[in-house]
Amino acid sequence: METITDLIKNQPIPKMVRIRQNFDRTCIPVEEIASTVQKELDRKDLGGKIKPGMKIAITCGSRGMTNNALMARAMVDFVKSKGAEPYIVAAMGSHGGATAEGQTQILRDYGITEEAMGCPVKSSMETVQAGLSGVRKQPVFVDKNASEADGILLFNRIKPHTSFRGPYESGLMKMMAIGLGKQKGAESIHHQSPAIMHELVEEYGRTILENCPVLGGIAVVENAYDDTYLIKGLTPQEIIDEEPKLKEISYRTIAKLLFDKCDVLVVDKIGKNISGDGMDPNISGRFVLPQYCSGGIDAEKVVVLDITDETHGNAQGIGLAEVTTRRLVNRMKLEMTYPTGVTNTFLHLMKIPMIMDNDREALQLALMCCPEAEDHDHMKLIRIPNTAHIGEIEISEGLLPLAKANPNIEILTDLYDLPFDGQGNLF
């Protein structure tokens, strides 16, 4: 890469400061999480339907969620208190490399194990047909382990989706339609026009509600710091009626970058535990289908430096960046990354951008290739650890006037040079 190194070697990297973005910190105290879950379930029309001896499947997905294992265990304990027999099923479409073992590993990473939960954890890619969708009369599939239960309790976070807008986005309805559908069900939806995905999620989800023993579920909304903001028990009818309202709440509580635009956005790490697209486009502004979604920051160039350990080599979403590092590419596992693309058809998410040998050169390349920059002598660069944690971030000197004018931003440090090591890396 000597030629490229020589071309960019004189590109300066701006001095940075660390800032704190302040959002609403309202949340449920950790010591009250389990009791809140059980209180929400303890209703006649929800948990009251659980009878002694019933086998109850509890769905757990692939998204990283604060207090995930704590809430799952609370659901298990509630079912046990009713004299029933709980077990957890992996409900995550094609994630985990579209293998039962991969999905088990994802749950294990979240602390959801048989030992920690006190019940069986079942993972399989086998499905059975639950019925035909109500409008298009297409087969709808459901996880075989869940289908064998006497009752199903859903468990998922409600949040804005990364590739479509509609009354139901990420949440319980989508978990039924895609998560419980496993690879086969997810592929069935994704291989239809993205323009109607919001319709398909509801249509397939309603088919599951009508044909499977869904008792209800626990819906979770997080605040901007990924703390648990709200826990709500929902009956099947309430999933239909109330989930859209919870989605609207999630739009208000989600974190965002408090800048409209920048020249370069640097994301330290992406991963499936962070977002379905590796990095949440509601933050990064890089939507897989921008004709259907918008939001996030307007960055001329995006640099991704690495992937998380928890993503197990799945680098889906790297194709939304212009520049990456050899470190990331060396850690990327095609056998983990490509199955998701085959399922969701968004093959451009898997494309590998320009590869630089280290972090310094990745930043230099991106900074050098911003013809739309307003002031090339004061480049506007933002660096975030990932799109799930943007409370404290770094910004360049060119953004300081905007930061100082925003009452929701605290300047935490003086200006400094980014601390590249001897190999030109930041970590």
Residue 63 pLDDT more than 90? no
Tokens of 138: 């297409």
The rounded distance, in Å, linking the Cα atoms of 275 and 385 is 13
The rounded distance, in Å, linking the Cα atoms of 385 and 199 is 34
Given a contact cutoff of 8 angstroms between Cβ atoms, the answer to whether 199 and 206 are in contact is no
Report the pLDDT averaged over residues 86-90. Answer: 98
Mean pLDDT of the chain: 96
pLDDT for the residue 404: 98
Tell me how far apart the terminal alpha carbons of the chain are, to the nearest angstrom: 21
* DSSP state for residue 159 in the 8-state scheme: B
Q: Model confidence at 94, in pLDDT bands (50, 70, 90)? A: confident
Helix (H, G, I), strand (E, B) or coil at 24: coil
pLDDT for the residue 362: 98
The rounded distance, in Å, linking the Cα atoms of 322 and 267 is 12
Tokens of 169: 């986005």
Report the pLDDT averaged over residues 288-315. Answer: 94
Instruction: Write out pLDDT tens, residues 38-58.
Output: 999 999 999 999 999 999 999
Helix (H, G, I), strand (E, B) or coil at 128: strand
Which letter, b or e, does each residue of 64-78 get, where b requires 16 or more Cβ atoms within 10 Å of its Cβ? Answer: bbbbbbebbbbbbbb
The rounded distance, in Å, linking the Cα atoms of 425 and 208 is 49
Q: Which residues pair with 85 in a beta bridge?
A: 55
Helix (H, G, I), strand (E, B) or coil at 60: strand
Instruction: Write out pLDDT tens, residues 366-377.
Output: 999 999 999 999
The rounded distance, in Å, linking the Cα atoms of 246 and 242 is 6
Q: Which among 357, 416, 427 has a CA at the least distance from the CA of 386?
A: 427
pLDDT for the residue 38: 98
Contacts of 291 (CB under 8 A, 6+ apart): none
The rounded distance, in Å, linking the Cα atoms of 324 and 67 is 32
Helix (H, G, I), strand (E, B) or coil at 165: coil
Q: Which of 40-44, 159-163, 267-271 has the lowest mean pLDDT?
A: 159-163
Contacts of 166 (CB under 8 A, 6+ apart): 197, 198, 199, 201, 202
The model carries a pTM of: 0.85
Report the pLDDT averaged over residues 53-73. Answer: 95
Which letter, b or e, does each residue of 355-388 get, where b requires 16 or more Cβ atoms within 10 Å of its Cβ? Answer: bbbbbbbbbbbbbbbbeebeeeeebbbbbbbbbb
Residue 219 pLDDT more than 90? yes
How many other C-beta atoms are found inside a 10 Å radius of the C-beta of residue 391?
Answer: 16
Residue 45: enclosing H or E segment and its boundaries? none
Give residue 104's Cα distance to chain centre: 18
Given a contact cutoff of 8 angstroms between Cβ atoms, the answer to whether 356 and 266 are in contact is no
Residue 230: enclosing H or E segment and its boundaries? strand 228-234
Percentage of residues of the chain with pLDDT beyond 70: 100
Instruction: Write out pLDDT tens, residues 168-185.
Output: 999 999 999 999 999 998
pLDDT for the residue 289: 87
pLDDT for the residue 368: 98
pLDDT for the residue 305: 98
pLDDT for the residue 95: 84
pLDDT for the residue 66: 95
